[in-house]
Amino acid sequence: MGALKEVRTKFSQAKVKEILSDYRLAVESREASLIGRKEVFMGKAKFGIFGDGKEVAQIAMSKVFRKGDFRAGYYRDQTFMFAIGELTVQQYFAQLYAHTSVEADPASAGRLMNGHYATRFLDDTGKLKDLTQLKNSSADISPTAGQMPRLLGLAYASKLFRDNAGLHSLSNLSENGNEIAFGTIGNASTSEGMFLEAINAAGVLQVPMLTSIWDDDYGISVPQEYHTTKGSISKALAGLQRTATEKGFEIITVNGWDYPALIDAYMRAEKICRDEHVPVLFHVREMTQPQGHSTSGSHERYKTKERLAWEVEFDCIKKMREWIINDVLILPEEIDAIEKEAKQSARQAKERAWKAFMDDVRKDQRLVASILETAKDESARSEEISRIRGALVRAINPTRLETMRAAKQAARLMVGESTPSREALIQWLKDAETDNFDRYSSHMISVSEESALNVIAVDPIYTDQSPLVDGREILQACFDAALSRDPRVLAFGEDVGKIGDVNQGFAGLQAKHGELRVTDTGIRECTIVGQGIGTALRGLKPIAEIQYLDYFIYALPTLSDDLACLYYRTKGGQKAPLIVRTRGHRLEGVWHAGSQIGMLLHSLRGMFIISPRNMTQAAGFYNTMLKSDDPCVIIECLNGYRLKERLPDNIGEFTIPLGVPEILREGTDVTIVTYGSMCRVVMEAAEALEEMKISCEVIDVQTLLPFDINNVILESVKKTSRVVFADEDVPGGATSFMMQQVLENQNAYPYLDSKPVTITAKEHRPAYASDGDYFSKPNPEEVYEAVYFLMSEANPERYPKLY
């Protein structure tokens, strides 16, 4: 009896209560996973991926996650989200069912498959909440390791908030940089370049990034030896371990089934990370995955009987139960009661979520069924409408698409009839179209008052004293003004800091504003963008530079999968107003003369794509975007940095509206639509064509997303009846996009007297040197000939063949 009393004194009553609460949560989370799998197999959900086997480690991690901290995780973190109080079990099931309600699924309003977690950083007006008072989860994405670049940025923001005194007054964004960025990733995904790039960058930057690796020895069906050198990521990265004389990572390893060891290890990791701003690699080994990778397959197909038996024996919940009985001395019957209660709670949450989901869907089902009940008595196609209605009301688990199909099928049957029920059905279809746009297609770009489309245009001001300078000096003055007026503005990228970027747009600004404001980075495009996403999420105004447009391909997955769709996939819950600065178009050779605009247009819907023709226009767009809460890409003209331009007197204040083309030259015969460096090429050709009495109207679209929101090009085509689209992208690239916008969206086709023409670069990348540029990309002679041939086809007598 004395020994028993001595053991019990190890744990206070409060501690025992906490341990049992943790165990209950682990069991409830496991039960939610098991139920979720059944719901998929019953057809109530499309797909399921779960966090079973990871419960205990995630509970331990939650103990050191404080208000103000940030998470960038992946799709197995359900228990962690439960533990920090930012996900209920009912919300978990609402996401599984794809309930299109922000209230039911705050993370994505049904837009993401289950296992994708996010908290809402923004209030109903689109303004950032007080992030220091929230436990923050940045929005998950599915691509493996895709969360790592953003994780780096979230941690980097803490470094900025701690070390930059100019940010200390922003107390709603940070408590002097004391926040940790918590990352989670599966062991197999550490093979991805994004992981390794982000880990290296975190070690260089020395930021508070605590990365937990859930290691269950597999990547779907592929065992560890195919993924990781030495079969262990902590062994493989042992060279990152800090020493007494060298900065680096703290590396901690612990078993995923050992509750007390996990608690102690996370407490140690937190102190190092939060207090010292040292990144921590937290390798959690010997984890299991009881249900396999997902509902798409069974792990019995690829795991040995011995491995499966080991997973049963070392299941983290089983091990925690044993520890509670043997060390905490809780009776098995007490544990059984806790398990029963937890499982019942999970089942009840599932029922509530399903009922709420079905009630929402059935509102329209009942309404359409009611309309069809009336329609079958009013229509000549009564029997067929009755059959449609019967199929709709008999649906056991109706979906919105079934209701929509029934309504449209009935409307087709009643074509030509004039009845109250048909009018009611058509009205329902119109209302449903609006409702379903909101459910599935809204929030591609900001709808707040800070949207870039709401920024008021301010013209540049010139006086007799306005100097004529190199284009790079225009940008330098613009960036200097931005850094001076707003402490949240910062810029970083390869060569941006000390030398002021390769084209001198930031020349001297690091010396003036400090290394934290204008910063060099390593050669790592993916995580440069990640730094920008993370800092923008935390309320800063980053300008992340990718040195050349050709190198965008290295960062494209992060831009497309994470940044461009962030506002959409959270239905306005999170925003990252990052400006990605780059340069492209004409210069020299295959990898320094990029105009891959079609690639961006197809990949980056949700971002604005801006391609100014000169540096004054670029400065105006930077000023516009720094006032907004939208992300964008600004592509400067490579051959414009040393061309002379007048420096506006209000260089830091003038703004240029998005989606508003500028007519550079008025004309009556042909409309030529272009942008960027091609503006100079087209203008040279237009002047030459004027000598042949061919009058060209030259339009610079300026921004491709958004594109001509006021139909300026349509009005020009109405006047000229001919249109040419010219750029430096490959055939079928951005010219095809512009043609579709003008002919289809603006409905310019009926006004054409000649076929539309595109002028593009060749299909290959541009060859080196002046001749390579001339013969690879459109030149003034080529533009001249294309326009002349168009006019010759229309009037061969006036414009005989040139050659």
Which residues are the active-site residues? 525, 592
Dmax over Cα atoms in the chain, in whole Å? 115
Calculate the alpha carbon distances from 688 to 200, 694, 785, 788 in Å: 55, 9, 11, 11
List Cβ neighbours of 309 (8 Å cut-off, separation of 6 or more): none
636: closest CA among 600, 585, 589? Answer: 585
C-alpha 105/C-alpha 96 separation (Å) is 9
DSSP per-residue letters across 311-373: HHHT-HHHHHHHHIIIII---HHHHHHHHHHHHHHHHHHHHHHHHHHHHHHHHHHHHHHHHHH
Alpha carbon 499 to chain centroid distance?
Answer: 31
Alpha carbon 429 to chain centroid distance?
Answer: 32
CB atoms under 10 Å from CB of 236, counted, come to: 16
**Contact status, residue 207 vs residue 224, Cβ threshold 8 Å:** no
C-alpha 288/C-alpha 52 separation (Å) is 8
CB atoms under 10 Å from CB of 717, counted, come to: 27
Beta partners for residue 703, in sequence order: 610
C-alpha 343/C-alpha 27 separation (Å) is 7
C-alpha 269/C-alpha 57 separation (Å) is 13
Joined tokens for residue 779: 């030149």
C-alpha 225/C-alpha 545 separation (Å) is 37
**Contact status, residue 118 vs residue 570, Cβ threshold 8 Å:** yes
E-state strands within 727-783 = 757-759
Backbone angles phi, psi at 562, to 5 degrees: -110, -65
714: closest CA among 726, 727, 702, 697? Answer: 697
Joined tokens for residue 22: 């943790």
